[in-house]
Amino acid sequence: MGRALNAAREEVALGNRILANEGVLDAFGHVSVRHPENSGRYLLSRSRSPELVEPSDVLEFDLDSNPVQPAKAGLYSERVIHGEIYKARPDVMAVVHHHSPAILPFCVSGIELVPVFHLGAPMGTKVPFWDQRDDFGDTNMLVVKPEEGASLARALGRNAMVLMRRHGATVVGTSVPDLCLRTIYACRNAEFQLQARMLGHVSMLSPGEVEKCAAIHKQPNVTTRTWEYWSMRLEKSGNGLPARKAVARAKRKPSGGKAKRKSSRR
């Protein structure tokens, strides 16, 4: 397995755990990344709660959302969300589907989500809606058929995010760190917009402000800074990747000589 593929699997696992730690994902939702060496494939965990995903859980899928190797574990039923977006958007390198409590009021009400502070700018000036009912009538609300995923991808269009009526949201990015930045701050933006509405007035960013703010947030040092911050918060929570925790424990473990001296004093 190549180094780039190993790194991508770890990023998918970290992205899942970070978004769970920040309250975006719970038992449901999932993060994927386009295969670093084959644009016709993507990486997504087996069906597992995001907070528990490990690199070894991350599998390869083709863009029809079929596993490249026979799967020995259950798979996410809504994986077509990822495959159909990667088909429609060659520029997209990472995708998350979530049901954040911050976003759901907008999905339920149909009230437009708009950028209201500078860190909300990466979600763009327009966040379209997709209503599964329009194309498919009454369903169980899960996006499980390729035609449903393709319909969602069309509603997303060239935007960074789409709200799914009475369901949740799907967000895209140029990398997993970029995806986490956009997703977390879109949720913060939703919280601030709702709070401002309760005060009586919402003042949104102008299209020019959105463009200029989003350009700043695309700078590598911004993405690195936020990724490091959320990774640190994840480690402090005790829910970091098991392999990383093992390395940290090994670094803290006293040397053999010190251990012997300590035991000889007992």
**How many Å apart are CA 198 and CA 202, to the nearest integer?**
9
Give the CA distances from residue 141 to residues 64, 83, 104, 149, in Å, rounded to whole numbers and listed in that order.
20, 18, 14, 12
Closest CA to 117 of 40, 35, 187, 221: 187
Which candidate in 11, 22, 54, 78 is catalytic? 78
**How many Å apart are CA 97 and CA 24, to the nearest integer?**
10
End-to-end Cα spacing for the chain: 48
Sorted by sequence, the CB contacts under 8 Å of residue 203 that are 6+ apart come out as 116, 196
Is 78 an annotated catalytic residue? Answer: yes
**Both tokens assigned to 231:** 């990774």
233 burial type by CB count under 10 A (0-12 exposed, 13-18 middle, 19+ buried):
middle
**How many Å apart are CA 101 and CA 63, to the nearest integer?**
30
**How many Å apart are CA 76 and CA 178, to the nearest integer?**
23
Catalytic site positions: 78
